[in-house]
Structure 1
Amino acid sequence: METVHSKDGTEIAFDGIGEGPALVHVGGALNDRGSGAALAGLLAPRHTVLSYDRRGRGDSGDAPPYAVEREIEDLAAVIETAGGSAAVYGMSSGAVLALRAAAHGLPITRLALFEPPFVPAHDDRVTRARAYNTELTALLADGHRGDALALFMTNVGMPAEMVRQMRGAPMWPALEALAPTLAYDSAVMDDAATGAELPEDLLGRVAVPALVLDGGDSPAWMRDIARRTAALLPAGTHRTLDGQTHDVDPAALAPALEEFLTG
Structure 2
Amino acid sequence: MDVGGIVSDAIKYPISDWKKILMLGIIIVISSISGLAASIGTTNSGVLTVLGIIGFLVGLLISGYILRIIKASLAGVSEIPDFDSWPDMFIDGIKVAVVGIVYAIPAILVIIISVAAAAISLGISELSNPSAAAGLLMGAGIGGTIAFLYLLIIIPIIAMAIANMAYNDTFGSAFKFNEILNKIGSIGWGNLIIWYIVMIVLYFVMALIGAIISSIFSIISPVVGSVVLFLFIMPYIYMFIARSVGLEYISDNS
Q: TM-score, normalised by structure 2?
A: 0.29
Would you tell me which structure has more strand in proportion to its own residues?
1
By percentage of residues, which structure has more helix?
A: 2
